[in-house]
Structure 1
Amino acid sequence: MWRNPWHFLAFGFGSGTLPKAPGTWGSLVALPFIPLWQMLPDWGYWLMLGITMLFGFWLCGKVADDLRVHDHEGIVWDEMVGMWITLWLVPEGWGWLLLGFVMFRIFDILKPWPIRWIDRHVHGGVGIMLDDLLAGVFAWLAMQLVVWGWAQHWFG
């Protein structure tokens, strides 16, 4: 994993090798990137999401094939992109990052419909990525409700 750059990326810069809860570690590794992404214009952040998603379909599929394991638990690129989706158009600040992290982990772990169905029935790089992308979208929607409620409360 450490010698192959594709494996290193897919394993979240090594976070996917940690012994317990690699998805949680991968989600945490995604957080320091958020302030960088938030410096982009909204369309730039959106473009970055599109690129990292498309790249992730290929990357996760390639690494799964290399390892001969579908959706190896150490592959956490999908969690990283899911976190980045969760925090698009969310205000800056560590409190928002923490809330987004919790929201994403809840949706990623519980896998409400249709996420669980996709996780079980869609394979390859798309399948590895898609359940976490949807968890990110669900968490993003929840975050947008919180942001809207917060704005209504303070600026109502």
Structure 2
Amino acid sequence: MTTPENSTAPRPIKATGRFMLAHPAHIIAQGFGSGLSPVMPGTFGTLFAWLSYVVMTTRWPEIFTPLNWLVITAAGFVVGVWTCQVTGRHLRAPDHGSMVWDEIIAFWLVLVLVTPATLSSQFAAFLVFRFFDMVKPPPISYFDRHLKGGFGVMWDDIVAAFYTLLALALWRAI
């Protein structure tokens, strides 16, 4: 009988720039390199989401409208299911820490729905989103444990985005 200690299951692969550039799915799943941070890759992925959202919305406001952002996040979710499935399989870890596309898509969703869209409201959204993504209160923790593959990787962060938006709405109402 094998136990986890003596299991012959292959060990996860270390995420590197070379690995990321080996497949288009890896580039996306690893947040264009933001997930390769040796410390807190999820936070760096969320910061990448914030920076890219602000830059694209400011530079091309006629393209990156709120409606278009919703379409982008929906398409990004679908793409993320595939990229995280492929990258997790190649890394031999279904929800490898270097995969941050889930944070990027979920935080873009938060940013497009946060009103007013001020720097302070975006910063509050960043802090609240990171809290829910790291702590994973129910049902986020349930989805994190029970939904597998690319869909599971993506879904728990969408629920964290919903919690973030709910918390910010409640805070504003009080």
TM-score band by shorter chain is 0.7 to 0.9
Structure 1 moving runs of 4+ over 6 Å: none
Q: What's the RMSD between the two structures over aligned residues?
A: 1.8
Cα gap change, 1:119/1:37 in structure 2, threshold over 3 Å: closer, same or farther? farther
- For structure 1, the 5+ residue unaligned runs are 150-156
Whole-angstrom CA distance in 1 between matches of 2:93 and 2:72? 28
Which residue pairs with 2:160 in the alignment?
A: 135
Question: Which of the two has greater helix per residue?
Answer: 1
AA aligned opposite 2:31: G
**How far did 1:120 drift?**
0.6
Which residue pairs with 2:131 in the alignment?
A: 106
Work out whether residues 31 and 45 of structure 2, in 8 Å CA contact, stay in contact via their aligned partners in 1: yes
Work out whether residues 111 and 117 of structure 2, in 8 Å CA contact, stay in contact via their aligned partners in 1: no
AA aligned opposite 2:121: W
Work out whether residues 37 and 45 of structure 1, in 8 Å CA contact, stay in contact via their aligned partners in 2: no
> Identity of counterpart residues, as a percentage?
36
Cα gap change, 1:17/1:41 in structure 2, threshold over 3 Å: closer, same or farther? closer
Which residue pairs with 1:68 in the alignment?
A: 92
Matched, 1:54 2:78: yes
> Which of 63, 82, 105 is the aligned partner of 1:81?
105
Whole-angstrom CA distance in 2 between matches of 1:37 and 1:82? 17
**How far did 1:129 drift?**
0.7
Cα gap change, 1:87/1:64 in structure 2, threshold over 3 Å: closer, same or farther? same
Cα gap change, 1:41/1:29 in structure 2, threshold over 3 Å: closer, same or farther? closer
- For structure 2, the 5+ residue unaligned runs are 1-19
TM-score, normalising length: structure 2? 0.78
Which residue pairs with 2:35 in the alignment?
A: 16
User: Bigger radius of gyration, 1 or 2?
Assistant: 2
Q: In the comparison of the two structures, how many residue pairs are matched?
A: 149
